[in-house]
C-alpha cells in the first residue's frame, strides 16, 4: 500500500503515525511506524510517501485501510494540559 502524508510542524500532540491495512481474516500489515523518536522526520510540512508491504492474501481480501493518528493524553501522565493543534493531510492511498 502506498500513501502520501504531510504533517505540519511541530507534531504537537500526536503520539504516533502508522498506516495499516486489515484483511477479511483479521490479519494485515502495519507500518512504517513514526513516534516520538522519529516523528519529526515526517513532521516537516513536506509530503512523504509511506509504503506498507502486503502479502498476497491481504491484497486480495482488503477490508479496511487507513492511518492511525492517536493523540497524547491530555493529562499529567504524559500529555499537555491542552493538546496543541496539528494538521495532517493524506493523499493518494493506493494498492499495488
What pLDDT shows up at residue 44? Answer: 93
In angstroms, what CA-CA distances link 77 with 6, 54, 71?
A: 28, 36, 13
Q: From first to last of its 96 residues, what are the pLDDT tens digits of the chain?
A: 899 999 998 887 888 999 998 888 888 889 999 998 899 999 999 999 999 988 766 777 888 888 999 887 655 666 556 777 889 999 998 887
Task: Give the pLDDT of residue 42.
Answer: 93
User: How is the beta sheet containing 62-68 ordered, strand by strand?
Assistant: 28-30, 18-23, 62-68
Using CA atoms, how far residue 55 sits from 14, 32, 60, 63, 85, in Å, is 29, 15, 9, 14, 36
> Rounded CA gap, 26 and 13, in Å?
29
Amino acid at each position: 500500500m502506498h500513501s502520501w502524508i504531510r504533517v505540519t510542524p511541530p507534531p504537537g500532540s500526536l503520539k504516533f503515525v502508522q498506516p495499516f491495512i486489515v484483511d477479511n481474516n483479521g490479519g494485515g500489515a502495519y507500518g512504517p511506524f513514526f513516534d516520538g523518536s522519529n516523528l519529526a522526520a515526517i513532521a516537516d510540512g513536506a509530503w512523504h510517501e509511506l509504503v506498507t508491504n502486503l502479502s498476497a492474501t491481504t491484497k486480495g481480501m482488503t477490508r479496511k485501510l487507513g492511518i492511525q493518528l492517536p493523540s497524547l493524553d491530555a493529562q499529567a501522565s504524559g500529555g499537555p494540559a491542552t493538546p496543541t493543534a496539528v494538521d495532517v493531510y493524506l493523499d493518494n492511498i493506493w494498492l499495488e
